[in-house]
């Protein structure tokens, strides 16, 4: 006990500070690396398709559109760009939603997919496709995404309010989420059973999740929600990290745990439901994205938050490339590919890094 | 100079009052107050009430709080954590709250000092999940110390430590209380450590304060029989510290 008598080991003491700064720099480098990888993946996503272009042509089309042919310009800007951007925005939004769900519910299994929010959205969408009855009055063209959004929002708020009840543990919340998944899947099956053949195929396609539904208005709305959410999470970065040490510990650090949980859950409800309502069920990104970020950056939210954004965006961007590379000329629904790409990668990460996985 | 007094303090979970009418004399800077009592007596509840984490009647009167300091810092009994954070990050977290992301060198320097003092520098960059129970307690003590409070509430801080570490940590806390003018309340089951390190002892049982005074005023054969149900006596060890010798369970 060096300081019991007031003395300090000054030389040895400097090590901790230096090591902390070095580790911070390393994390910034990792974030930089992830950003570069995302840029590369985005460019490849724009380059690949039935007509394959070189990366140099894509870069030229992006920064000097007049230098490329009208065909390249149209394919890159009008056909592939909305899908490529939507992949990044949706991946980021779902991953951040999952990250903060895992943080405030203190559970590694929490994500929009596992807690039934995606299933609720699917049911809402199916209801819109099959019955064409809007849950809130909207224009005919918006019935499907709005119904999906309303159901997803209701599911998220339900989970939130149950989690606030006295005596409810985090395990209860996750079990409840699983119950929601089964409930909405059953309801979905019920609606599908009643549907006409044409409506049924639409429902099945919707629930598979596809980025080909991307349009610029949908991208702007999702991006706006993401850009509204990130600064709010960033402002609470220390508090959210502290919550991972336990409610009592966080409160003893001066964190208003109840308020932060409420605020975070309300933001998550938008962040999780908006993308799902536009692109359908895309599983695993909300679960795997944050885990990848956690494993390579730890849970200090100053790095974990941007890490989750980049990991989710990268994951979905790579998946978007894979979805059109399996059979030339065929774009598979991305929801199918996310699991096929994400899960093996995830398992290999977990097994190689067990200690830091949760 | 800081002084702390509890006046008719109670705490409630929901509508049920779990501790009631705790009134103490004034505690002063530099004092160690041992809070003792049987299991489920209300010690942790009392700490949470003092720290402001629980509501209830009565008043926690704290005078002469130094400017800019965190007045009361509470170390919970449960130190388990599965967060993917290093020890260093978790201690920094205790010092850095608020919305500013950048970390000052002064904060890191202070954390280094506290970690060196508690001999936990070798585990500075280990993950929290990889620590033993004793190491977690030491990290938790560091988290409480870096907040530089006027009053520290430590809920069974030494329960997972070996004997040597217990004596070391309690001596360290005693020195810290004297040097920094803190009031340190320690909930503790080991009455021998209470006799040795505490300036005052607060006895709580069945949610009520039974006694508060000097260690020997509170810890005596009569109280040990009445509250703990054991036949015991107080004797001095070779270094003249008072010790409880338990003869057996009271008939």
| A298 vs B75, B85, B168: nearest CB | B85
| Smallest CA–CA distance from B166 into chain A, residue | A1
d(CA B186, CA B98): 28
Q: What residues of chain B lie within 8 A of the CB of A239, using their CB?
A: 97
Query: Do A342 and A332 touch, CB atoms closer than 8 A?
Result: no
d(CA A248, CA A186): 39
- Beta strands B230-236 and B27-28 are unpaired
Q: B127: phi > 0 → left, psi -120 to 50 → alpha, else beta; which?
A: beta
d(CA B9, CA B21): 5
| Smallest CA–CA distance from A231 into chain B, residue | B99
Query: Do A248 and B76 touch, CB atoms closer than 8 A?
Result: yes
Q: Where are the alpha helices (DSSP H) in chain B?
A: 43-50, 87-95, 105-117, 133-145, 163-180, 191-197, 215-218, 221-228
Query: CA A163 → CA A122, A347, B95, distances in Å?
Result: 23, 29, 29
d(CA B10, CA B58): 6
Tell me whether B106 touches chain A (CB under 8 Å).
no
> What is the distance in angstroms between the Cα of A239 and the nearest Cα belonging to chain B?
7
Q: Where are the alpha helices (DSSP H) in chain A?
A: 10-47, 55-63, 70-73, 81-105, 117-131, 143-164, 170-194, 197-208, 216-235, 237-243, 247-252, 257-279, 285-297, 301-323, 334-352
Tell me whether B167 touches chain A (CB under 8 Å).
no
Burial of B166 (0-12, 13-18, 19+ CB in 10 A): buried
Task: Give this complex's ipTM.
Answer: 0.89
Quick one: angle between helices A257-279 and A117-131, nearest 10? 40
Tell me whether B55 touches chain A (CB under 8 Å).
no
Quick one: angle between helices A334-352 and A301-323, nearest 10? 130
- What mean pLDDT is reported for chain B? 91
| A356 vs B73, B108, B127: nearest CB | B127
Cβ contacts of residue A33 below 8 Å, gap of 6+?
none
Q: What residues of chain A lie within 8 A of the CB of B96, using their CB?
A: 238
**What is the pLDDT, as a whole number, of residue A355?**
56
Closest CA to A118 of A356, A338, A342: A338
Could you read off the pLDDT of A138-184 as tens digits, one per residue? 777 778 888 888 998 899 888 888 877 877 777 788 888 889 999 99
Cβ contacts of residue A41 below 8 Å, gap of 6+?
A314, A317, A318, A321
B136 pLDDT above the threshold of 50: yes
Query: Do A96 and A229 touch, CB atoms closer than 8 A?
Result: yes
Interface touch A245/B172, C-beta < 8 Å: no
Could you read off the pLDDT of B99-131 as tens digits, one per residue? 789 999 999 999 999 999 999 999 999 999 899
d(CA B205, CA A243): 31
Q: How many CB atoms lie within 10 A of CB A298?
A: 21
| Phi, psi dihedrals of residue B196, rounded to the nearest 5° | -80, -40
Show the low-confidence residues of chain A (pLDDT under 50).
Answer: 1-13
Helix (H) / strand (E) containing B22 = strand B16-22
> What is the distance in angstroms between the Cα of A264 and the nearest Cα belonging to chain B?
15
Query: Do B57 and B136 touch, CB atoms closer than 8 A?
Result: no
Closest CA to A292 of A34, A79, A117: A34
**What is the pLDDT, as a whole number, of residue B69?**
58
Could you read off the pLDDT of B47-85 as tens digits, one per residue? 999 998 888 999 999 987 665 556 899 999 888 888 999
Global pTM value: 0.89
| Smallest CA–CA distance from B174 into chain A, residue | A4
Query: Do B73 and B144 touch, CB atoms closer than 8 A?
Result: yes
**What is the pLDDT, as a whole number, of residue A266?**
83
Could you read off the pLDDT of B38-49 as tens digits, one per residue? 998 999 999 999
The SS3 of residue A358 is coil
Could you read off the pLDDT of B154-181 as tens digits, one per residue? 999 999 899 999 999 999 999 999 999 9
Tell me whether B85 touches chain A (CB under 8 Å).
yes
Q: How many CB atoms lie within 10 A of CB A75?
A: 21
Q: What residues of chain A lie within 8 A of the CB of B106, using their CB?
A: none
Q: B206: phi > 0 → left, psi -120 to 50 → alpha, else beta; which?
A: left
Bridge partners, residue B74, by sequence: B153
């Amino acid at each position: 006990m060096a300081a019991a008598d007031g003395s300090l080991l000054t030389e040895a003491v400097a090590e901790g500070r230096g090591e902390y700064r070095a580790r911070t720099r390393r994390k910034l480098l990792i974030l930089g690396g992830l950003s570069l990888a995302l840029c590369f993946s985005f460019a490849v996503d724009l380059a690949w398709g039935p007509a394959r272009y070189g990366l140099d042509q894509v870069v030229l089309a992006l920064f000097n559109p007049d230098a490329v042919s009208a065909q390249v310009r149209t394919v890159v800007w009008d056909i592939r760009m909305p899908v490529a951007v939507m992949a990044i925005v949706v991946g980021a939004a779902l991953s951040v939603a999952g990250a903060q769900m895992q943080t405030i519910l203190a559970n590694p299994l929490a994500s929009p997919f596992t807690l039934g929010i995606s299933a609720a959205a699917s049911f809402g969408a199916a209801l819109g496709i099959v019955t064409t009855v809007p849950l809130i009055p909207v224009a005919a063209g918006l019935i499907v995404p709005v119904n999906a959004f309303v159901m997803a929002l209701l599911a998220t708020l339900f989970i939130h309010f149950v989690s606030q009840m006295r005596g409810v543990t985090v395990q209860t919340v996750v079990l409840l989420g699983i119950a929601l998944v089964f409930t909405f899947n059953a309801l979905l099956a019920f609606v599908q059973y009643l549907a006409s053949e044409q409506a049924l195929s639409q429902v099945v396609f919707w629930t598979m999740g596809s980025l080909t539904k991307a349009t610029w208005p949908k991208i702007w709305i999702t991006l706006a929600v993401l850009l509204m959410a990130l600064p709010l999470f960033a402002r609470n970065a220390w508090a959210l990290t502290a919550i991972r040490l336990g409610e009592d510990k966080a409160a003893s650090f001066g964190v208003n745990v109840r308020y932060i949980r409420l605020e975070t859950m309300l933001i998550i409800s938008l962040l999780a439901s908006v993308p799902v309502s536009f692109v359908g069920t895309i599983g695993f990104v909300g679960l795997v994205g944050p885990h990848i970020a956690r494993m390579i950056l730890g849970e200090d939210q100053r790095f974990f938050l941007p890490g989750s954004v980049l990991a989710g965006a990268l994951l979905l961007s790579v998946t978007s490339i894979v979805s059109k590379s399996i059979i030339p000329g065929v774009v598979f629904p991305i929801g199918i590919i996310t699991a096929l790409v994400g899960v093996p990668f995830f398992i290999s990460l977990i097994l190689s890094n067990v200690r830091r996985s949760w | 100079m800081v002084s702390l007094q509890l006046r008719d303090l109670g705490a409630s979970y929901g509508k049920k009052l779990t501790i009631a009418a705790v009134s103490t004399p004034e505690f002063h800077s530099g004092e160690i107050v041992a809070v003792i009592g049987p299991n489920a007596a209300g010690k942790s509840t009392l700490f949470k009430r003092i720290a402001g984490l629980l509501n209830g009647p009565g008043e926690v009167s704290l005078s002469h709080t130094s400017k800019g300091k965190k007045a009361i810092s509470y170390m919970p009994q449960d130190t388990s954590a599965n967060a993917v954070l290093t020890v260093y990050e978790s201690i920094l977290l205790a010092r850095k709250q608020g919305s500013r992301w950048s970390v000052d060198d002064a904060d890191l320097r202070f954390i280094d000092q506290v970690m060196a003092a508690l001999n936990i520098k070798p585990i500075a960059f280990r993950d929290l999940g990889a620590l033993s129970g004793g190491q977690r307690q030491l990290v938790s003590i560091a988290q409480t110390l870096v907040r530089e409070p006027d009053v520290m509430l430590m809920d069974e801080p030494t329960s997972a430590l070996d004997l040597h570490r217990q004596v070391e940590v309690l001596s360290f806390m005693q020195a810290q209380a004297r040097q920094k003018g803190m009031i340190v309340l320690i909930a503790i089951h080991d009455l021998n450590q209470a006799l040795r390190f505490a300036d005052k002892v607060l006895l709580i049982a069945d949610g009520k304060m039974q006694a508060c005074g000097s260690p020997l005023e509170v810890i005596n054969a009569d109280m040990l029989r009445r509250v703990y149900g054991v036949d015991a006596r107080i004797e001095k060890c070779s270094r003249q510290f008072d010790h409880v010798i338990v003869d057996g369970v009271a008939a």
